[in-house]
Structures are given as C-alpha cells and as structure tokens.
Amino acid sequence: MRVLIVEDERLLADTIAEGLREEAIAVDVVYDGDDALERASYTDYDVVVLDRDLPTVHGDDVCRELAGRHPGRILMLTAAGEVSERVDGLTLGADDYLPKPFVFSELVARVRALARRSGPAVPPVIERAGIRLDPHRRTVARDGRPLRLTRKEFSVLEELLRADGGVVSAETLLDRAWDEHIDPFSNIVRVTMATLRRKLGDPPVIETVTGSGYRLDGTR
C-alpha cells in the first residue's frame, strides 16, 4: 500500500506519516495542494489523506481534480465536522471523511478499508503456498509456524501474495513497500528478499524471474 498525506500542519502530517510507516505502509508527505497535484500526476497512490483547508490550491479543488483522474481513494480530513461539511466533501469526490481531532487507530482502519477498495477485491486474510498473512493483525505464518518479519519484509511478502502468482518487479516493490526517499539504485530489495526467504524456510517458495522480478510459487 502507498499513501499520500496532504496536510499543511507539518507536525500533524509528519506524525500521521510516521504512524502509518509503523504499520508497514509506504507514505509520502506534501504540505500544500499544488505539490499534492504534482505528486499524484506521476505516482498512483492507493489512498490520499487530504486536508480540506490547504494553501496554494484548496483541498476542495485538489479533491475534485484527483477524483476525476486518479485511480486511488480519497480520505478527506477537516476540522469542521458538521453533516453539511461531510456532504460537501463527499460530493466533491472524496470516498470517506474523518473530522479532526481523530483517533489514529480509526484513521488506519479507514485507510486500509479504502486501499482494499482501490484495487481488486482480496480477502482480509491472504493465503497461498501454505503462507497465511493477516494485514490487520500484522501476523504471518507458514504451515502454522508463526514468523517474525520486519515491516519491510511483511510488506514485500504481502505484495507477492496479492500478486497471486504473478511476477512483481523490484521497481514495483520499491514503489509499494518503501517510499520516495529510497535510492532507486539500492540493492535493498535483493537484501530484503534474501532475509525473507531465509525466514520462510524450506521448501523455497519465492522464485526469481530473471530480468523481470519475483513471484510466489503456490504449487510448492
């Protein structure tokens, strides 16, 4: 999952971003509407968490623009919690609405729910090749054996499981499991894949497809 936070209160924006990263979610942050539109023009986010009262370009205009051309879902934040305000936000194209102040656990739950709606339907618990991954509880097991994975290992495994046997490129993993601060020439995907394979154990289930990426072999 990759999320864009658009919030002009920098402390709040950075706090939300750090909390979501603790949930193994890749997050980018911008602080005004103009940067939000630019960032969304070249990155397909699963969810955009959008403050309504933004500088340069108002959140309403950002919402209207993204709803018309961006494939992801929009969660609008605002200090105004009146019904009329929520109706206005949803009318503009927002998919959900959360008034400030909010409980962080609710924000996480709403982001995850919206992310599930932004792509093909997947079960809350994903199972393949004897691997059972629960994104909500942050647990994973193979053949009933619990595994202790880092946040990035968990995210990489989740992407492979969601691909349902399809090949996932290293570039896609960088985009989905990390964020804009990662060096695109880093070998971090290869290193993470090596430790993930070791923790998954035998028989090996992650296959390297030369020149293309990785896939999870569900027949093993």
State CA 132 to chain mean position distance.
19
Contact by Cβ (8 Å): 174, 214? no
Contact by Cβ (8 Å): 173, 159? yes
Q: Nearest-CA neighbor of 179 among 39, 10, 73?
A: 39
Taken in order 58, 45, 1, 127, the sign of the CA dihedral is: positive
pLDDT score at 206: 93
pLDDT band at 199 (very low <50, low <70, confident <90, very high): very high
pLDDT score at 182: 66
Task: Express each pLDDT in 39-91 by its tens digit.
Answer: 998 888 999 999 988 989 999 999 999 987 888 899 998 876 566 666 666 77
pTM, to two decimals? 0.61
Helix, coil or strand: residue 202: coil
**Is 60 exceeded by the pLDDT of residue 120?**
no
pLDDT score at 179: 64
pLDDT score at 89: 62
Rounded percentage of the chain residues whose pLDDT exceeds 70: 88
Q: Which of 69-73, 146-150, 165-169, 175-179 has the lowest mean pLDDT?
A: 175-179
Rounded Cα distance between 14 and 5, Å, is: 9
